Amino acid sequence: MPPSTGNASSRPATPTGRTPLILTGAQVIRDGKPIGYRDTRFTASIVISAPPFYGETDLAAVLASVEVPTLHVTTT
């Protein structure tokens, strides 16, 4: 991750799309094992035009571990 510029904060850059959900707890099951990339530095998530989790039939299970506030922004 590139260093922040002009900000002494240790918070990471803000990703968009499905990435914020993955970084705040979303996970999938592969070969019976959960795969997730939770980063505890994120305390909220702004999700902009996130594509679906392709191939996942149980979205509630994918998002069950997301325990931070989320704001979803989308348009059609």
pLDDT tens for each residue of 30-75: 888 888 899 999 999 998 888 888 888 888 999 999 999 999 998 8
46 contacts 73 by C-beta, under 8 angstroms: yes
In angstroms, rounded to a whole number, what is the distance separating the alpha carbons of residues 50 and 74? 8
Whole-prediction pTM value?
A: 0.67
Burial (CB < 10 A; 0-12, 13-18, 19+), residue 19, is middle
Q: Which two tokens stand for residue 74?
A: 């989308």
List the domain boundaries for the chain. Answer: 19-73
